[in-house]
Structures are given as structure tokens and as C-alpha cells.
């Protein structure tokens, strides 16, 4: 989830550093699919506005204008369309910088993982993946933290790009849509990427949209990875932190795109 807006005048929140807070956030949500099917889908974009009692009428007018434009974007995706050249360049960066690949079959990915040098890391990932999948499949269901080990073990330079490649079309769609919406709305200010994991999306957005971005994630191995592999042209910062939200039940084993038992 990505937030952006005008910087707040003072720091009032204990969890995040001052540069990550904004007075007006735009929350961008979408149901994404393969990029080739973009024209057939509806994009749902909803504003989440944090207002203060001293907002003047001009500020409220800006909010109303943004809400109107968001509604128009929801009906006409061409308003946020990027050029084919821009989309190809973003996809190229996912491939060259983060080692995202094309695997037509899951078996192709499994074969690649079996040949990686650090087989200990591969085994730790599969153990975490299979344990999370088993918890999801049997009542009473998973606890809130049942998939944390998946996020920890996948934050590895040999594993991250390979594993995340299964969701490459969805990630590409999310990045392209976030950039398109931000350009269309003329959003300025600082960017906050909540749940950034290893920060590859944060880096892409920072390079494309604005010089200042902060990614936060509750998993320390992911943030250490993000700091270690930050891109040279990115102005992103990474903080080990989380927002006090109740998380929805979902399974990282599913989010990897590898299905239930990965080695089955």
C-alpha cells in the first residue's frame, strides 16, 4: 500500500520518523491482473483523507477536485496509462535490478531453486512455505504471525527475485498504476510505502516519482536487505516499523504464487 501527500508541519506520531508523515494521504488500491489484460479491467482508486480542523476552504476545494478526478480514473483507465516504453523500462528494471524472470511453469522455477548455490537458504524457505500452507489448510486456521518466516527467508539475494517472479505481472501492474495515478493527480511531497518488504517497489517509485520516499516493514531481515541493496538513483529510506492496523488473514504461501505445498 502506498501513501503520498504534503508533508506535515510537526511530528506527532510515535512510530514513524517525521519525514514519513503527511497531512493529506492518497491511498491507492487496485485489483490487479496481467498487464496484457489492462484494458478489460476496472481500476478502483479510493481516497483516504486525513484532515485537520484548521484546513481552509482552498484546501477543501483541492480535496473535492481530487475526489472527482479519482472517480473519473475509476471509470477511464486511459487517464493513468503509461506509454509502452515506460512500462517496458519498468519491467526491464524488475528483471535487471531484482532478477525477476519469466517461468512459464512452476517446475521451471523449482529447477532453478534446486541449482542455487545457497541450498540451506532454499531449504529454509521451503520449510517456512510448507509450514504456513499446512496451517492455512487445517482448522482452527493460522495465527496472525503464521507466515512471518516466509517473508524472512525470502529476503535473500539469491531467492528474492526468483520467488517473486511468480507475481511479476501483478507487481508490474501495481507499480505502473501507482505511477500513473500519481502523475495524473499531480501528487507532490513525500511517499510512504507501508509493508515494503525488501523495498524494490519503493526504489522504483522513488526513482520515478520524487526524490523522497520511506519504506517501512515489520520484518527486520527484509529491512536489512532493503538497506543493503538500495538502488543508487533512489532516495528511499527504510525503517523497521509498522502501523497499528489489524491485519487481514492471508497467506504468504499463496502470495508467492507457488500454491499450497511448494515442493509437492
The C-alpha cell at 107 is: 517446475
Q: What percent of the chain has pLDDT over 90?
A: 38
Integer Cα distance of 178 and 183 in angstroms:
9
* 87 and 27 assigned to the same domain: yes
Last residue of a domain, one of 132, 165, 198: 165
Whether residues 6 and 124 share a domain: the answer is no
What pLDDT, on a 0 to 100 scale, did the predictor assign at position 15?
A: 31
Co-location of 33 and 158 in the same domain: no
Distance from C-alpha of 214 to C-alpha of 203, rounded to nearest angstrom: 9
Tell me, yes or no, whether 142 and 198 share the same domain.
no
Q: What is the reported pLDDT for 106? A: 84
In this predicted model, what pLDDT tens digit does every residue of 11-21 receive, in sequence order? Answer: 323 333 333 32
Neighbours of 246 (CB within 10 A): 5
200-209 pLDDT tens trace = 999 999 998 8
Task: Please give the DSSP secondary-structure letter assigned to residue 4.
Answer: E
pLDDT at 105: 84
pTM: 0.71
* Three cell numbers written together for 234: 533512489
pLDDT digit string, tens, across residues 129-147? 998 888 888 766 656 677 8
For residue 7, which phi and psi values (nearest 5 degrees)? -65, 140
State mean pLDDT over 211-237: 92
pLDDT at 124: 95
Asked which of 144, 165, 186 is the last residue of a domain, the reply is: 165
89 and 181 in a single domain? The answer is yes
Count of structural domains within the chain: 2
**Domain of 211?**
2-97+169-240
CA dihedral of 200, 202, 207, 209, whole degrees rounded to 10: 140
Amino acid at each position: 500500500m502506498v501513501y503520498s501527500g504534503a508533508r506535515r508541519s510537526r511530528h506527532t506520531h510515535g512510530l514513524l520518523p517525521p519525514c514519513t508523515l503527511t497531512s493529506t494521504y492518497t491511498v491507492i488500491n487496485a485489483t490487479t491482473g496481467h498487464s496484457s489484460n489492462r484494458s478489460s479491467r476496472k481500476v478502483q482508486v479510493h481516497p483516504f483523507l486525513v484532515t485537520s480542523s484548521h484546513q481552509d476552504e482552498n484546501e477543501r476545494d483541492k480535496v473535492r477536485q481530487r475526489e472527482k478526478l479519482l472517480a473519473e480514473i475509476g471509470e477511464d483507465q486511459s487517464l493513468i496509462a503509461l506509454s509502452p516504453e515506460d512500462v517496458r523500462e519498468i519491467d526491464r528494471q524488475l528483471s535487471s535490478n531484482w532478477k525477476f524472470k519469466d517461468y512459464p511453469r512452476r517446475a521451471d522455477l523449482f529447477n532453478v531453486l534446486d541449482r542455487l548455490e545457497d541450498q540451506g537458504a532454499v531449504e529454509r524457505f521451503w520449510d517456512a512455505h510448507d509450514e504456513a500452507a499446512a496451517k492455512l489448510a487445517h482448522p482452527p486456521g493460522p495465527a496472525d504471525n503464521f507466515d512471518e518466516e516466509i517473508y524472512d527467508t525470502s529476503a535473500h539475494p539469491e531467492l528474492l527475485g526468483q520467488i517473486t517472479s511468480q507475481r511479476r505481472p501483478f507487481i508490474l501492474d501495481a507499480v505502473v498504476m501507482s505511477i500513473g495515478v500519481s502523475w495524473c493527480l499531480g501528487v507532490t511531497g513525500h511517499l510512504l510505502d507501508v509493508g515494503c518488504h525488501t523495498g524494490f517497489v519503493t526504489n522504483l517509485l522513488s526513482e520515478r516519482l520524487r526524490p523522497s520516499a520511506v519504506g517501512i516493514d515489520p520484518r527486520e531481515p527484509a529491512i536489512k536487505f532493503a538497506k543493503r541493496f538500495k538502488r543508487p538513483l533512489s532516495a528511499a529510506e527504510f525503517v523497521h516499523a509498522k502501523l497499528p492496523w489489524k491485519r487481514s488473514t492471508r497467506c504468504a504461501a499463496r502470495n508467492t504464487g507457488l500454491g499450497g505445498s511448494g515442493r509437492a
